[in-house]
Structure 1
Amino acid sequence: DLAVPHSGSFAAELGHSTASLALSRAGQRDFGGPGDAAPVRDWEWEQRVVDGHPFHPNCRSRPGFSVAEQLAYGPEHRPVVELGLIPVPARECLVSGAWPDRLRDGDRVLVPVHPWQAAHVLKRAGAPGASGRGEGVASVSRQGVASVSRQGVASVSGEGALAAHPLMALRTLALPDGPHVKTAVSARLTSSVRDISLGSVAASAVLSDFGQAVAERTDGLLRITRTPAAVAAGSPDLTALLRESPEKYAGPGERVVPVAALAGTDLPRSPARLARLARLALTVGLRLLDLGVALEAHGQNLLVVLSPDGEPVRLVYRDLADLRVSPARLAQHGIPVPDVPDRMVTDDALALRRKLFGSLVAGALAGTAGSGSALRAALETAVPDLPRTDDLSALLGGPLPAKALTLMRLSPGAAGDQWAELPNPLRSGSG
């Protein structure tokens, strides 16, 4: 019925998304209700996000995943997933940073692999399954996978895996001892295939150092989760990154909550706290944009540190691979341009502003506010205290950018992001 080019595949994805969303909601808990215990670990917050991407037309579309595999690997179903460890000679690997000894076997690197990737893309004889809900339904044999002890240390013989908790990104999982593992899952989840490029692996250490350096210019308002090690074994299909847990940046009694999971807290119901979150996030975003760094600060990448009484006090940002950096702006502040992939580099002010405002205002803040009127009130309260920059003037004076995600799915031949313009909530009469 869409009757537009490429509508056939798009309609199939919509059907899959509808069924997947229904499956997700079928297992939903009464978060915040009587008897609901507050999350303790970071992955528990992430698994509260039931509906997935707030704006993508295929928010729960996971092509290539069976019902059993969704139950076994989807974070909203709260499984424990077993990551395989595939041994690869170190001479055949691109390694960035210091790959840990516990994930080595002599002269071989043990590469963490998502079981879906092992079974469907790498075509290995097998990969670990998942425990918890759906136990056994997605398991396959473990031939060729190195073993791991109960403490998560790889052994030389036998069979086993790394037990981990899937996060919102599905392919990124939290290990029990804290670090997160980002794996390659070569399936189209939302707008792109989720492998890890060789360029991202090579640049991971440089990006960590660069991100930390610019975060230090925010007077303690922003922390960056570092990527201490990354590995690629010959192709984007067999790659992995190790990343710090955001929990590292929580003080006593504090909680680190992804913005997408704030619906389970009191913050969105408090106009004053929502305004303070808007002020905090925009202050950090505008400072970095002026320096020459545009964050993709959507509700998954951006986390907020809440004080023991629920006040937003600072931010944590993860996944630096989608930053945009401006050589001209960096030079104005005496900051060297990092050695990053070309796709991340631009001096185009419109592209930089779209990256930040589309993800942060149209995405994270709008999703948290839940309505145009709540977003407008939060922004009106926050704006007088924001850095007075040309970027702020552009935000206040023009339409609000948002990724045209439906158009992108209907334009398979067009590379990169496409954009729409939404009414500006700060302009009179805007919705």
Structure 2
Amino acid sequence: MNSPLSARHLQPAPSVAESFAERQHGRLLINCYAREVAMQEHTLAVLPSGRNRHPAMPDGYHGQVLEIALPRVDSQLCVGVLHVSATANFDYTTGAYLRQGQDAWRDAGWRELASLIIEDLSRRAATPFNDELLQQIGDSIATMQDVMDRRPAPVAPAAAAGATPLLAYIESEQGLLTGHPFHPAPKSRSDWSPAEQRDYSPEHKASMRLHYFQLPQEWLLSDSIDAGALQGLDAEGLQAGEGSAILPLHPWQAGWMRRQPRIASALRSGEILDLGPHGRPFHPTASVRTLLAGDAASFVKLSLNMRITNCIRNNARHELQSALIGTRLYRTMQADMQSRFPGFRVLEEQAYVTVDLPGADPELSNGFGVLLREGVAGLLQQGVQPMVCAALFGNGEHGRKRVFALIERYALHRGYTLEQAARSWFARYAETAVHPILYLLFEYGVAFEPHMQNTVVGLDGEGAPSHFILRDLELTRLAPQAQALARAMQLEPGTLSALCCTDERAWIRIGYCLFVNNLCEVIASIANGNHTLYLSLWGVLRNTLQDYLSKYPNPSASRRIQGLLAGEPLPAKGNLLTRFLRQADRQASYLPLYHPLGVVNGAAASL
């Protein structure tokens, strides 16, 4: 197994954060374009290593080269890679190079590369050049550069192991340095100034107090799972006036609210009182707008009327309702799930509050929406070390070093070689994650959203996966077999419509979130450029799926899983195309992604 410190994999550190951020975004653009366009159009090839150097490559380079043709703009792109990847999870070994027509190859800066790709997509779709996307990429680079410039030096994994479990968890929430590996602008937060980035961004290790407004009680709309759950949103030491209620906001959102004419008028008239920041500190987590209480007992998911990656991040009422419905539905099956999958957990959505502001646009009312979620204190008390999956997997060298440290620790405990430990570690992760998620889908018709940012891996004393924890239930979807349960709840028509989907859409949700977004990144991160190990881990996943079918035979499960084992593609979300076409996230296209499951043999997971 390659160590993340392996000389043949780890490139020399850039001299400045700017060059790191620009090179990283160039690689993100290649990731996206390769998966969403070049693989679909068969304009991509990985040229084998050999004695003859590729003309674009630097002197002395004789490794493999990824070459992509962009015929609509009469150009070619190439970059050194360690090995072929059917899923476009490439490990890059050089910068990117471009040539147009028969011109000489030259270094490709991020702006030239992004402009060429956007122009190619414009001609492909017969639409104007998308300047907004180019700006978002630039914003994302600026955010990443500022993080790398100002973030304290990373703690070595060995030293990090001495941190308290809570601090280690917070570090994982705040340690997503490179962001989504298949998004063109994963750090785009264009509405924040540099100072606001540092005050509110998880990557800057920020913490903050919530900001409180007092509003008329009659404006509030709320719901809770259990009696008293709403008290979790109370402001310590603040007392609402008669007929009024106190509501927390993200401090940036409070400033945004004050600038809106309807709110400014209400503040002047006294309908709304601005009570300012108050109470204990909260830590921003990976999603930016969800904050963790200092004691880890709860999360609060707050509205932000700004675009983060694909969406404006305010809490629409139907999303808040869906989150609580997801909890109520899961409670009906929780006993069965716990008996079958003792390492599986769902963090409950406990309560929400929002506002129906008289005479205001719904978007303004949605800006007050807040959701209370169960925290990780219970897991910590049980001796489980939670870590956000996105901090370990798909998080560049920062994540891979942490994964390597965990596997090395596991190997020492078990007396395994690193390769044996890697296979066994992944087998535990795969079974803990895959079996319960597939069981929920095929036995209950429930499709949660288990992508890397929504999932937490629980580690035992050996550093190996013991738990798989799911959070953020607002986008729960119900296949036809589960829809009777939702109808019995007498939901509003819009909420019911948003919850219900076809069997095919439910499978797309799981196929993308679990297999493509999550497991593809886990495999690539653990393999760390070792192609033999990479294929072996796909073999472990094949075993995991076959084992699921033997334990839980089901016609729908058999059809889907046997299809994967025979080589049917997975659905991959087109983040680049979605941003290029200026589409809402719900309109995102899903493209076929082929994978090694159909060609690998099952691999032994452990000794």
TM-score range, shorter chain: 0.7 to 0.9
Partner residue, 1:171? 289
What is the alpha-carbon distance in structure 1 between the residues aligned to residue 377 and residue 520 of structure 2?
25
Alignment of 1:7-406 (within 5 A): 7-26=130-149, 27=151, 29-36=153-160, 37-38=162-163, 40-41=165-166, 42-97=169-224, 98-100=229-231, 102-103=234-235, 105-106=240-241, 107-123=243-259, 144-146=273-275, 160-177=278-295, 178-218=297-337, 219=340, 220-234=342-356, 235-250=365-380, 252-262=382-392, 263=399, 264-265=402-403, 266-267=405-406, 270-290=422-442, 291-328=444-481, 339=491, 340-347=495-502, 349-369=503-523, 370=525, 373=535, 375-387=537-549, 388=553, 389=557, 390-397=559-566, 398-406=568-576
Distance 1:160 1:314, change over 3 A: closer
Shift of 1:109: 2.3
Matching residue's letter, 2:231:
P
Larger mean CA deviation between 35-44 and 56-65 belongs to 35-44
Larger mean CA deviation between 420-429 and 74-83 belongs to 420-429
What is the alpha-carbon distance in structure 2 between the residues aligned to residue 66 and residue 375 of structure 1?
43
Q: Which is helix-richer, 1 or 2?
A: 2
1:188-241 Cα shifts (integer Å, max 9, x gaps): 111111110111233443332212333433223422111222110221111111
What is the alpha-carbon distance in structure 2 between the residues aligned to residue 298 and residue 321 of structure 1?
13
Q: Is the 8 A contact 2:344 2:432 kept in 1?
A: no
What is the alpha-carbon distance in structure 1 between the residues aligned to residue 522 and residue 153 of structure 2?
19
Local SS of the residue matching 1:100: helix
Number of positions where the alignment pairs a residue of Structure 1 with one of Structure 2: 399
Matching residue's letter, 2:294:
P
Shift of 1:298: 0.7
Larger mean CA deviation between 170-179 and 308-317 belongs to 308-317
Larger mean CA deviation between 408-417 and 195-204 belongs to 408-417
What is the alpha-carbon distance in structure 1 between the residues aligned to residue 599 and residue 579 of structure 2?
32
Shift of 1:411: 1.5
When normalised by structure 1's length, the TM-score is: 0.84
Shift of 1:301: 0.9
Counting aligned pairs with the same residue, the percent is 25
Distance 1:384 1:203, change over 3 A: closer
TM-align CA RMSD: 2.7
What is the alpha-carbon distance in structure 1 between the residues aligned to residue 487 and residue 317 of structure 2?
23
What is the alpha-carbon distance in structure 2 between the residues aligned to residue 249 and residue 425 of structure 1?
35
When normalised by structure 2's length, the TM-score is: 0.61
Larger mean CA deviation between 365-374 and 66-75 belongs to 365-374
Q: Is the 8 A contact 1:111 1:239 kept in 2?
A: no
1:265-304 Cα shifts (integer Å, max 9, x gaps): 4456722111221122110111011110112101111112
Q: Is the 8 A contact 2:323 2:476 kept in 1?
A: no
Shift of 1:344: 2.2
Shift of 1:259: 1.2
Shift of 1:182: 0.6
Local SS of the residue matching 2:474: helix
Partner residue, 2:104? none
Unaligned runs of 5+ in 1: 126-142, 148-158
Matching residue's letter, 2:275:
A
Q: Is the 8 A contact 2:291 2:300 kept in 1?
A: yes
Matching residue's letter, 1:249:
L
Q: Is the 8 A contact 1:212 1:224 kept in 2?
A: no
1:90-144 Cα shifts (integer Å, max 9, x gaps): 211101114217346244222211122122344279xxxxxxxxxxxxxxxxx94
Shift of 1:343: 1.8
Local SS of the residue matching 2:599: coil
Distance 1:214 1:246, change over 3 A: farther
Distance 1:66 1:279, change over 3 A: same
Matching residue's letter, 1:112:
P
Larger mean CA deviation between 164-173 and 406-415 belongs to 406-415
Partner residue, 2:596? 425
Matching residue's letter, 2:377:
E
Matching residue's letter, 1:51:
T
